[in-house]
Structures are given as C-alpha cells and as structure tokens.
Structure 1
Amino acid sequence: MARWKELPAALDGRERRLIAELRRMKDHSGLSLAALAGKTGYSRSSWERYLNGKQPVPREAVEELAQVCGLEPTRLVVLHDVAVQARRDAPGRTAGAVAAAAEPGSGEPGSGEPGSGEPAGGEPEEDPHVVAAGPPPAARTVSLRGCVAGIVAAVVLAFTAGLLTGGAWADDEKAAADPGKSGYRRGVAYDCDVRRESGRLRAGHSTNREILLDINSTGFDVVEVQCLLREHGFDPGATDGLYSQTTKDAATRFQAARGLIADGIVGPKTWGELRR
C-alpha cells in the first residue's frame, strides 16, 4: 500500500489527529479510495482531498467511513467536532479550508456550495441575534467569542472523558434501547455450527467478509469470527460477541500463521482466510 502524503504544515494538531485516525481506518479496511467512494456518498476525489488535508472532512463523511468499517462513530465524531472548533478558534483559515474555498464548486457536502450544509468559504455563520442588534464593539466581540469557545472546549473535553470511562456502559445502553436491530445480547455465549457452504466456512451468525473488527467491537460479526477462529484451532475464549483481548490475541496468532499482517484487527483479508 502506497504511503500517505505528508499533511499540510498549516494544519492544527487536532485536525491532524482526526485525519490520522481516518487514514488508519481506511488502511485497515483494505478498501481503495474508489471502493470507498462506491460505499459512501462521497467521490474518490473528495476522499483524496479529505484524507490528505486539502479540505475539511464533513461530519457525515466521518460517520459513513466508520459505518463502512463497522466501528462505533462516536469517538471519531468527537475528534471531528474538536477539529472544527480548532478551525474556528484559529486566527486565519487552515490550509485545508483555503484549498476548499479555492476549488470549483462540486455540489458535495462541505464544498461551500448551496445546499451543502456548510457556509461558503468554510466561515461560521453570523449569529442572527447579533446582526439584528447591530455590530458590537470589537473588544466585546472578542470577549464573547472567547467565552463561547471556552465553554465548547470544556463540554467537548468532558464528553470525551465520559466516552473513555463509560464506553462499555454506553454499549449496553445502546443494545438495550434497540434490541431488535440485530437480536444480539451482550454476555450470552452463542453456539458455533460451522459448516462449509459454497466453498466457504460459515458459523451461521454472519455472512460478512469486509467489516472491520477490533477491541470492544460487539455483535454477531464478532461471534462469527470467534467461531471461525476456534474452528481453525485458535481459541478466542468465549463466543460471546465481544472482541476482547483474548479474541484479539487469537486473531493475531491466526494472521501470523496465514502470513497476514499480525495486528489482531479483522479486515477483508483476515475474513477471507477465516472462511477458507
């Protein structure tokens, strides 16, 4: 896989962190930019601009990439919101925002075109209440914006801390709130009925061959992986649908035995070997 281009020097560190996470997800998924475009509402050229820091990444694109990779998008959305706040706090627009403003209108989300959901040029919209009251003194404007920025930063930091400490609780709450989505129940040990169908091994829990799975992933896709690992002689521990460290260790050993990148992250190539 070709190396990524170096990100523009003008990008804020928080923007760099978001793009680095998105690049890592894209690499582990094994999808090309063209394949990614086929699975999302964004073109190949748009993904090339987003992942090389030439244009700010729309929130919807972040959510769609997480969905394609089979990951919970909340953490990435938080990183995205932090990056957006960094752009608003900066004294001038970032290199990515300048590039976005300079490009011809594409009509895609985040391009600044009508109906895209973003103001032209990437600048935040003015508060209608401030416009109606007339322009406030310069010193008062700076103070108000600084206060709002401080409040938003505090909320984002508190929310991020809550995610780090309460991730498992949130997963349980989500599963309980939407039990009909997949029927999966956390903490239940599922049976493995591995058989070969059309030349491929199946355990009866999922037919997926592309979704990306890593630590704390949950659901029937994980049960399928656990059953297939056990079938190949690599004990994942319980077949409970929770991608634990024990499951990741088993996946790492399996990948090493099959000549794959032994990172314990199940992607398309690992799926392919598991179903052999």
Structure 2
Amino acid sequence: MARWKALPAGLDPAVVEFVAELRRLKDASGLSLRDLATGTGYSSSSWERYLGGRLLPPREAVESMATMVAADTARLLARYDRASDAWRRDHLGDAGAGEEPLREHADAFVSSGELGEGGGEGGYDGAAVAGKETGSRARRLLRQLATVGLSAAAGAVIAVLVMEPGHSASATAKPGTTVAAAKPVTYTCHFVRKAGLWYAGNSATRTDHLQVDMWGPEVAELQCLLQHAGESPGGVDGNFGPLTEAAVISAQKAFHLDVDGQVGPRTWAALRR
C-alpha cells in the first residue's frame, strides 16, 4: 500500500475528505497511477495532482474511477460536489495571478509520508520530491515577483507617457500635470471567424504553449475559446489556474486529443475550428 504525502495546508475540510476518500479507494483497489490513466483517459501526472490535493479532478474522471473500483458512485459524487463548491469558492475568491502558490504540507486527516509506487509513474520519492517541490515553489515565486515588477514598470511608463490632452507622448511632465492612472487589464471575448477559424480578439496565436501558472492575453484567448467550445474555465481573467486546466482536459478528451492539461498547436487547432 502506498504511503501518502500529507496534503497542502489550508485545504477546505470538504476537499480533504474527498481526496482522502480517493486515496482510500485507490489503495483498496490496488490500482496504479498508470492503471487510472488507462481506465479514465486522464494522464498519470494529472492523477498525481488529484491525489496530492493540488488540483480537483473533473467530474468525468471521478465517475470513471468510481466505475473502475466498483465504488458507490452516488456517495462519491456527493462528496465531490461538496469539494468542488469549496474549491471554486477558495480559488475564485483569490485576488492574485492564477493558481495560488504551493504551501507547506500538513494535514490531520491524512498520515504524513511519501507517495511512492516504484518511482516509475510520477510517484513521490523522498529527497528527490523535496527538491522538486522546493524548485517549484522558487519558480512560482520568481514568476510572481516578475509579474509585480513588470506591472509596476508598466504603470510608471504609462504614468509618464499619458498626460493632459494636447501634450506630446515624448514631452516631459511638468509640475502639477494631471497624470492618468494605469487601469487593471480586463479581457473580453469578441468572436470573429476568419479563414474558417474562430478568434476571440485577445491573441491570434495558434502555436504558443500554455500551461498552469501562465498568464496574459494568450491565456484569455484560450479561456474565450474554451467557453465557445462549451467548456467553462471559470471566467476570462488571463490566468491559467486549476479551473482553466480542468476545462482544457475536458476539451482535449472531447476532441480525442492527448490529455495532459496543456495547450499546444493541436489543442489550439481544435478550439479554433
């Protein structure tokens, strides 16, 4: 039986209860991550995140797992619904860029330890995992600092360039000049069809690689196209968080693409058609 790594601190009790039940069902069934991936259509790395409490699985993944392990589907989905409500409330309520940073692991519901299944399926393995997670936290922090720095720099440039009507953009601001304040970026979806492809007005990319924790107009374009395809990313804010990833996974499954939760040329092509 696998020894599970403690869940991230701060998870809602409903999410903790649900993930703990998924872990119990997996242990009781003897299934590996690869078995779950084969039986549900969701990758091993996705199941590693679901079982690690770092991402809530799509409803279809839960239903497929319940079928595989002969669990009480109605009971499991009732727990899933409570966890989903809590997850959406916590994550959509955050005022930050995308998915919240990975926090220290500690939880009273699940025994601490390591998740290990031979190391061949993305399972956790001691010091290697600690190094990986430390590196992940560092990269996320650097991205956040870069975002803050770029936003501050952009605000300063706009404040200097945008002045009273009639002043040249290259002119130097004089004492007492009223300066326009930079506004937060907002994204909307304005769909147009060009050469047989759909565009939402935020980006014309068809090849940019997108994944969790990325942000910008390309992500907003992705979110608009997901909505257009009937897969809700939880809103159009330009931040690639867990709800956007879940929508990408659902779309990839619907389009019969490789399911990895990341966006490349094939996923762009399917969403723009």
Q: Into which bin does the TM-score normalised by the smaller protein fall?
A: 0.3 to 0.5
* Higher normalized contact order (CA 8 Å, seq sep 6+, divided by chain length): 2
Return the TM-score normalized by structure 2. Answer: 0.38
Return the TM-score normalized by structure 1. Answer: 0.38
Decide which structure has greater helix share.
1
